[in-house]
A and B are shown apart, each in its own frame.
Chain A
């Protein structure tokens, strides 16, 4: 991905910054995981925000997605991109 790409990983969001999900790399996930991510509300066009990063290295992270808060590890968060 070049620096001019309009998308960046969700992990790069600044605290308090709200953005819309631009793409989810579903091919990089097991089918059940991609489905669970969808069931938890992750979808293109949904508003997200990083609320918390865990102590001891900032992993996992807690993401607000719509009205829900979901904890996931950063290696998965890298597959979710938000619009710049």
Chain B
């Protein structure tokens, strides 16, 4: 009886559609669990989330979580994807068999308007009336049967975070999905204002008690958005977040380093000295290590960001910071991506996807590398340790003061850059700042875990491959050709990297850099902290890394005049010394134009800053 025909074997496609903050992603997570695939739509940096859903009648369907949108008239690339998916215009995507419109029971009148817009498409449609528990908490009572009756669609009450109503939703879907796919909907312009009015009347007719929606959120906002307490609370949250990123990650980072070192030692004991051992130890393992060692920090950072997003606090932070960001031509939403960039520019640049204005987003991406990331710290630590005396200036230490000045220089540089970019390359009116502030919610552990997993794998895939590849390329550059047997200079000087560095020396001489620095900057392109071990190699020291830098500190003290050291610090505030950042910029802007522009402007800024610092220091007789 199970004669499979082409029609029976067809897997129907169902999309979740709804306003942002309707709980769509929670519902998607509840329906698909960990059986979901996260990818990208072709040509745009919009996440594509799909999973399998088993209907009660045994059929399987593909469930797609489309980006949240307020209507079918898109204002951002995300919203355009939702529209195009509904009208079957995305290459490689099958047309939809049915839509689940997810609406927030505490905000019926706005969300019903979108349902009315979707209903006009004549696709099989089921309404998931989500967050009915929160509506009940606020005293809102909805006559669901009457709503279904008036709107002429099946309406299922759900509480996605508690997995309530999922079976009923599946049953309602099963009855709407036919054997053959429905006809593609035709796009027509709808009168939003008329629909809005209709939705308000509809909401008024089915809400038997309107309660006092958002009472809790308003109480929390009275504190969180208070003119004095609000900014202080934001500062405290950020301080705690950074404290956590750096201190909680310390132990796991140590384990990872020890683990990699143990594997390297094991390989060194088993394999003969030679190219293979060097490739594995100094190329592959060093490359893998350079990525994974930052994973604990990045996971902690992502966990904070996801929790802040899901709780609803992120939009409050954007609200508090909008005024300050507006002064340099950005909007409040740029604040969190820039903040993340203090740990690492890569998650920061990935986080710019929440900025709906393309120009603001591009500007934010371009200035993100100016935030002092944690990979700069080893470089700063070595140079400051070597050249800045450990004495106090008033109540504070001079070394700490210099480090603070370097952070500050990065921030000021970013503000100036944003100001300049918004008036030149990213010139043009940004869409006005208009942001819904959703009600507060506890982040659900399942949503937090799935969100973290998705972003961590995206980071490893995007950053990991490029860092590994570039480390191996730079390892090869620094290893070949090999030095002659009677070499009297460090091996790296005979290699291609050494030759490139030597060739670059005249370029760097005017800003006070010697040949050794020029050579070390070449492998230092892989990641900033690599510059430390590269300097160790150039000065023919063995086993220099962040913890064993004492020898290097003494060597540098003897080899560099103070103005050179200060110029080197100024260089690292701006320098585009990170291939992964450039690679992620290429991914996120979908063109080579912007990473090349980013490299050029940062190189110019670094060159000028280092040159000014060097000549000023020389003139002052330092």
Chain A residues close to B by CB (< 8 Å):
29-30, 32-33, 35-41, 43, 46, 51-57, 59-60, 62, 64, 66-73, 75-76
> Distance (Å) between the CB of B205 and the closest chain A CB?
15
Q: Which residues from chain A contact B71 at a C-beta distance below 8 Å?
A: 35, 39
**A-B pairs with beta carbons under 8 Å apart, 5 shown:** A38-B192, A60-B332, A66-B110, A67-B110, A71-B435
Which B residues between 289 and 339 are near A, CB-CB below 8 angstroms? 315, 318-320, 322-324, 326, 332
Given contacts A43-B193, A70-B437, A72-B432, contact A52 B221 (CB under 8 A): yes
Given contacts A32-B73, A35-B73, A51-B221, contact A60 B437 (CB under 8 A): no
Tell me if A73 and B70 are in contact (CB < 8 A): no
Please report the number of residue pairs spanning A and B whose Cβ atoms sit closer than 8 angstroms. 116
Which of chain A's residues has its CB closest to B104's CB?
Answer: A67
Task: State in angstroms the CA–CA spacing of A32 and B431 once bound together.
Answer: 9
Q: A33-B431, A39-B110, A51-B221 are in contact. List 6 more A-B contacts (CB 8 A).
A: A29-B432, A54-B322, A64-B214, A67-B108, A69-B221, A71-B322
Tell me if B228 and A55 are in contact (CB < 8 A): yes
Task: State in angstroms the CA–CA spacing of A68 and B110 once bound together.
Answer: 8
Given contacts A38-B193, A51-B221, A52-B225, contact A33 B432 (CB under 8 A): yes
Tell me if A40 and B436 are in contact (CB < 8 A): yes
Task: State in angstroms the CA–CA spacing of A76 and B435 once bound together.
Answer: 12
Q: B320, B324, B432: which contacts A76 (Cβ < 8 A)?
A: B432
B107: interface (CB < 8 Å): yes
Q: Which residues from chain B contact A36 at a C-beta distance below 8 Å?
A: 70, 75, 434
Task: State in angstroms the CA–CA spacing of A33 and B73 once bound together.
Answer: 11
Q: Which residues from chain B contact A69 at a C-beta distance below 8 Å?
A: 214, 217, 221, 436-437
Q: Which residues from chain B contact A62 at a C-beta distance below 8 Å?
A: 221, 225, 319, 437
Tell me if B322 and A73 are in contact (CB < 8 A): yes
B109: interface (CB < 8 Å): yes
Task: State in angstroms the CA–CA spacing of A70 and B192 once bound together.
Answer: 18
Most buried by B among A30, A41, A69: A69
Most buried by A among B231, B322, B332: B322
Task: State in angstroms the CA–CA spacing of A54 and B105 once bound together.
Answer: 28
Task: State in angstroms the CA–CA spacing of A39 and B116 once bound together.
Answer: 12
Which of chain B's residues has its CB closest to A31's CB?
Answer: B73
List the 5 closest pairs (A to B, CB-CB), nearest first.
A39-B70, A52-B225, A69-B437, A55-B227, A67-B213
B216: interface (CB < 8 Å): no
> Distance (Å) between the CB of B539 and the closest chain A CB?
49
Q: Which residues from chain A contact B192 at a C-beta distance below 8 Å?
A: 35, 38-39
> Distance (Å) between the CB of A38 and the closest chain B CB?
5
Q: Which residues from chain B contact A43 at a C-beta distance below 8 Å?
A: 193, 196-197, 200
Which of chain B's residues has its CB closest to A72's CB?
Answer: B434
Q: Which residues from chain A contact B227 at a C-beta distance below 8 Å?
A: 53-55
Q: Which residues from chain A contact B320 at a C-beta distance below 8 Å?
A: 54-55
Q: Which residues from chain B contact A76 at a C-beta distance below 8 Å?
A: 432-434
B359: interface (CB < 8 Å): no
Task: State in angstroms the CA–CA spacing of A69 and B225 once bound together.
Answer: 13
Which of chain A's residues has its CB closest to B438's CB?
Answer: A69
> Distance (Å) between the CB of A42 and the closest chain B CB?
9
Which of chain B's residues has its CB closest to A52's CB?
Answer: B225
Q: B107, B109, B213, B225: which contacts A54 (Cβ < 8 A)?
A: B225
Task: State in angstroms the CA–CA spacing of A55 and B434 once bound together.
Answer: 17
Which B residues between 72 and 86 are near A, CB-CB below 8 angstroms? 73, 75
B218: interface (CB < 8 Å): yes
Q: B228, B319, B324, B326: which contacts A71 (Cβ < 8 A)?
A: B319
Q: Which residues from chain B contact A41 at a C-beta distance below 8 Å?
A: 109-110, 196
Chain B residues close to A by CB (< 8 Å):
70-71, 73, 75, 106-110, 113, 192-193, 196-197, 200, 213-214, 217-218, 221, 225, 227-228, 230-231, 315, 318-320, 322-324, 326, 332, 431-437
Task: State in angstroms the CA–CA spacing of A68 and B75 once bound together.
Answer: 20
Which of chain B's residues has its CB closest to A63's CB?
Answer: B437
> Distance (Å) between the CB of B222 and the closest chain A CB?
8
Task: State in angstroms the CA–CA spacing of A30 and B429 once bound together.
Answer: 11
Most buried by B among A33, A55, A66: A55
> Distance (Å) between the CB of B6 and the closest chain A CB?
41
> Distance (Å) between the CB of B201 and the closest chain A CB?
11
Task: State in angstroms the CA–CA spacing of A3 and B213 once bound together.
Answer: 35
Q: Which residues from chain A contact B218 at a C-beta distance below 8 Å?
A: 51
Most buried by A among B113, B218, B230, B432: B432
Which of chain A's residues has its CB closest to B113's CB?
Answer: A39
Q: Which residues from chain A contact B109 at a C-beta distance below 8 Å?
A: 41, 66-67
Task: State in angstroms the CA–CA spacing of A52 and B590 once bound together.
Answer: 39
Given contacts A40-B70, A68-B436, A71-B319, contact A55 B107 (CB under 8 A): no
> Distance (Å) between the CB of A36 and the closest chain B CB?
6
Tell me if B73 and A67 are in contact (CB < 8 A): no
> Distance (Å) between the CB of A52 and the closest chain B CB?
4
Q: B221, B326, B434: which contacts A37 (Cβ < 8 A)?
A: B434
Task: State in angstroms the CA–CA spacing of A6 and B192 once bound together.
Answer: 27
Q: Which residues from chain A contact B315 at a C-beta distance below 8 Å?
A: 71
Q: A40, A51, A60: which contacts B110 (Cβ < 8 A)?
A: A40
Task: State in angstroms the CA–CA spacing of A60 and B318 once bound together.
Answer: 10
Tell me if B432 and A55 are in contact (CB < 8 A): no
> Distance (Å) between the CB of B499 and the closest chain A CB?
53
Given contacts A37-B434, A38-B193, contact A60 B319 (CB under 8 A): yes
Tell me if B323 and A40 are in contact (CB < 8 A): no
Which of chain B's residues has its CB closest to A59's CB?
Answer: B323
Which of chain A's residues has its CB closest to B108's CB?
Answer: A67
Tell me if A32 and B434 are in contact (CB < 8 A): no
Q: Which residues from chain A contact B214 at a C-beta distance below 8 Å?
A: 64, 67, 69
Q: Which residues from chain B contact A51 at a C-beta distance below 8 Å?
A: 218, 221, 225
> Distance (Å) between the CB of A68 and the closest chain B CB?
6
Tell me if B75 and A32 are in contact (CB < 8 A): yes
> Distance (Å) between the CB of B461 and the closest chain A CB?
34
Q: Which residues from chain B contact A32 at a C-beta distance below 8 Å?
A: 73, 75, 431
Q: B75, B197, B231: which contacts A55 (Cβ < 8 A)?
A: B231
Q: Which residues from chain B contact A73 at a C-beta distance below 8 Å?
A: 322, 326, 432-433
Which of chain A's residues has its CB closest to B212's CB?
Answer: A67
Tell me if A72 and B433 are in contact (CB < 8 A): yes
Q: Which residues from chain B contact A70 at a C-beta distance below 8 Å?
A: 434-437
> Distance (Å) between the CB of B358 and the closest chain A CB?
13
> Distance (Å) between the CB of A31 and the closest chain B CB?
10
Task: State in angstroms the CA–CA spacing of A54 and B324 once bound together.
Answer: 10
